[in-house]
Structure 1
Amino acid sequence: MTQPSIDVIAIGNAIVDVMAPSSDELIAQLGLQRGGMTLVDTDRARELYDAMGPAREISGGSAANTLAGLAALGAKCAFIGQVADDQLGEVFAHDVRAGGIAFATPSREGEPPTARCLIFVSPDGQRTMNTYLGASQFLPAEALDEKVIADAAVLYLEGYLWDPEEPRAAMRKAIAAARGAGRKVAFTLSDAFVISRHGDDFRKLIEAGEIDILFANEGELAALTGIEDYRQGMASLAAKVPVLVVTCGAEGAVAQAGDDFARVSAEPIDKVVDTTGAGDLFAAGFLFGHVRGRSLAESLKLGAICAAEIISHYGARPEADLKALTATV
């Protein structure tokens, strides 16, 4: 097996985040589920945008956020995702490439427009996300370059993209390409509501041994396994998933790999400003440690540092020097 020239290649929603601070009263008034992620149509997206206060536009998308963290740490990364041939599509592509990430998926002409996520940020930093998927739902399997996927040490996939049919087929094709080349497949469950829709598919992937590294938070793990206690939930997957990482919010995170088990506390920060991207950047730190051959505990520590940086400011792309922050790990 040849040495990969890419550390991590990811397939995900190509989304521009539109973020604004919000009161919990406004969130309730708009009929939103605080802290959740809801898919919205064009009309609802327009209604919510009109209700937002002054907003910032920052390229996002779960897997793309993770790659931004990985690239900032020094990893070589590539992204596959669909944007439209419009202004937000140009913004997304520019941001990704400026972050040092290879991005070669051709833009899609015509409707629908590039995806956007309208994020209402509560005073405690909790984010309530409303995603208009737009063009990102139409990533065709033929857009994949299987040779490039086979040239990456890890293929990273986000559960959010399992909803639309075309990207789901693309991800299945990518898994086959990665596994055929002897590479690892990492998967993030993304959201408990995604599991309510596609849990059977995810469980089949796990049973078939197609997932090497699985990321979840406690709620997602419970939704996947049907077991409320995360320790028991992890134990139920121990024989099926080589590396399982579970984030526990302010309590930190835990990981298991065979008989190896590690735990890390959350990094202390002065103030939680915005939790958007916390899980994405945790995955970035952990994956960076993993591809560099670091221990389970060290990889968790890298994840915790990256997550702490991201929740200290608005937006899901790192602002501080992650290499400097993680230099002592």
Structure 2
Amino acid sequence: MSTHRFDVLGLGNAIVDVIAPVDEEFLVKAKLRKGAMQLVDEAQAQWLYDAMGATTITSGGSAANTIAGLSSFGGLGAFVGKVASDEAGRAFAHDIRSVGVHFATPPAEGGPSTARCLVLVTPDGQRTMNTFLGACQNLTCADLDAADLAAAKILYLEGYLWDPPAAKEAFVEASRIAHEARREVALTLSDVFCVDRHQKEFLGLMRDGIVDILFANESELHALYETADFDTAVAALRQENVLAAVTRSEKGAVVIKGAETWEVPAAPIDTLVDTTGAGDLFAAGFLAAYTRGEALDACARLGALAASEIIQHFGARPEVNLAQLAGQSLYLRGRGVTPQGV
């Protein structure tokens, strides 16, 4: 058993992202729903890869991106996710360890290859994702280290993990272990179509006390409460016994806890390039501050800053040291974010 101690341990899909710019016509020809994430088989993934043209390849996965971002802020992070014993799996393991994240999940021997997400980015920065889950689906309870789970202040779970049945069991078991150790459990809803698939179950995770902290964007929140009105969705969210952070793109973010609300504006950017990973990095900044005991509006501001960095380039991993960025940020100055860890 590991003796490491962590601020956040992420449990999610270990995926290698393959990113390419495309035009709207490409999406039409490929019969893809713009802005959606769909699951594809290995043959479909290969067909899209061949059609994409020049690509940028980087390690990804929603929870893994969040933990990598947390590490860039100086936080102590760990990640649990399944890769295959192949070239892509070795690249994923190297990448996440190289940024200081503890990653000890043994690779799968045999079976499907390491997961890939083919990310098509249109000129407006919107991403359409096509995911081959591959080895991700082999994540089971046997891959959980109870000592690591008990040693993390926050267990962070991605909604995408609710798709594969075996991974779902690991999701619930990890939450049980974390709560027995008096730790908090966070869930990110991941994608509006993921919410559509599992809306009642996600509500149940909050109402059954399995989830303490919720991360969502505005569209996901609408899907969760089946309403097109933001205020109606927020009113429903207030009734849940959770701390919630909701991102609203250029409108900033809102943090909700019961009757209390904290709103922060979006951090300024120069050019929007690719929104891939914006929510993942918002969660990274929020949790980096939250695990240091910062005020909730300060947590949201650090999240917004991290999101602003990620959307100005391709890929869902930071291209700069986020702690240094925070230390130099006019957006954060005088807003209650302490320099600790920054």
Which residue of structure 2 lines up, in the alignment, with residue 224 of structure 1? 224
Taking the aligned partners of 2:240 and 2:142, their CA distance within structure 1 comes to: 30
Taking the aligned partners of 1:241 and 1:107, their CA distance within structure 2 comes to: 37
Give the 5 Å matches for 1:239-254.
239-254=239-254
Deviation at 1:251, TM superposition (A): 1.1
Deviation at 1:229, TM superposition (A): 2.0
Taking the aligned partners of 2:237 and 2:208, their CA distance within structure 1 comes to: 12
Taking the aligned partners of 1:36 and 1:24, their CA distance within structure 2 comes to: 14
Deviations 1:104-157 (A, max 9, x none): 000001120000000111112111110000000110111101121011100000
Taking the aligned partners of 1:249 and 1:241, their CA distance within structure 2 comes to: 25
Q: Which amino acid aligns with 1:71?
A: S
Deviations 1:157-215 (A, max 9, x none): 00001100111000100000011111000000111111221112111111112211101
Deviation at 1:86, TM superposition (A): 0.1
Q: Which amino acid aligns with 1:202?
A: F
Which residue of structure 1 lines up, in the alignment, with residue 70 of structure 2? 70
Taking the aligned partners of 1:92 and 1:40, their CA distance within structure 2 comes to: 20
Taking the aligned partners of 1:266 and 1:16, their CA distance within structure 2 comes to: 28
Taking the aligned partners of 2:292 and 2:239, their CA distance within structure 1 comes to: 24
- Which secondary structure state, in structure 2, belongs to the residue aligned with residue 315 of structure 1? coil
Which residue of structure 1 lines up, in the alignment, with residue 142 of structure 2? 142
- Which secondary structure state, in structure 2, belongs to the residue aligned with residue 129 of structure 1? strand
Taking the aligned partners of 2:305 and 2:197, their CA distance within structure 1 comes to: 32
Which residue of structure 2 lines up, in the alignment, with residue 58 of structure 1? 58
Q: Find out whether 1:176 has 2:183 as its counterpart.
A: no
Deviation at 1:244, TM superposition (A): 0.6
Q: Find out whether 1:13 has 2:13 as its counterpart.
A: yes
Deviation at 1:216, TM superposition (A): 0.8
Deviation at 1:278, TM superposition (A): 0.4
Moved more, 235-244 or 307-316: 235-244
Taking the aligned partners of 2:280 and 2:172, their CA distance within structure 1 comes to: 21
Deviation at 1:228, TM superposition (A): 2.3
Which residue of structure 2 lines up, in the alignment, with residue 38 of structure 1? 38
Deviations 1:249-276 (A, max 9, x none): 1111111123331111111111111111
Which residue of structure 2 lines up, in the alignment, with residue 315 of structure 1? 315
Give the 5 Å matches for 1:231-310.
231-310=231-310
* 1:214/1:241 contact within 8 Å kept: no
Q: Find out whether 1:165 has 2:185 as its counterpart.
A: no
Q: Find out whether 1:124 has 2:151 as its counterpart.
A: no
Deviation at 1:225, TM superposition (A): 1.2
Taking the aligned partners of 1:31 and 1:241, their CA distance within structure 2 comes to: 40
* TM-score normalized with structure 2 length: 0.93
- Which secondary structure state, in structure 2, belongs to the residue aligned with residue 78 of structure 1? strand
* 1:234/1:244 contact within 8 Å kept: no
* TM-score normalized with structure 1 length: 0.97
Moved more, 236-245 or 43-52: 236-245
Q: Which amino acid aligns with 1:284?
A: A
- Which secondary structure state, in structure 2, belongs to the residue aligned with residue 326 of structure 1? helix
Which residue of structure 2 lines up, in the alignment, with residue 213 of structure 1? 213
* Count of residue correspondences: 326
Deviation at 1:56, TM superposition (A): 1.2
- Which secondary structure state, in structure 1, belongs to the residue aligned with residue 187 of structure 2? strand
Deviation at 1:242, TM superposition (A): 2.7
* 2:206/2:242 contact within 8 Å kept: no
Gaps of 5+ in 1: none
Q: Which amino acid aligns with 1:318?
A: P
Deviations 1:236-256 (A, max 9, x none): 122323311111111111111
Which residue of structure 2 lines up, in the alignment, with residue 195 of structure 1? 195
Taking the aligned partners of 1:175 and 1:164, their CA distance within structure 2 comes to: 17
Deviation at 1:46, TM superposition (A): 1.0
Taking the aligned partners of 1:211 and 1:163, their CA distance within structure 2 comes to: 17
Taking the aligned partners of 1:242 and 1:196, their CA distance within structure 2 comes to: 20
Structure 1 runs (4+) greater than 3 angstroms displaced: none
Taking the aligned partners of 2:145 and 2:258, their CA distance within structure 1 comes to: 33
Q: Which amino acid aligns with 2:21?
A: P
Deviation at 1:230, TM superposition (A): 2.1
- Which secondary structure state, in structure 2, belongs to the residue aligned with residue 294 of structure 1? coil
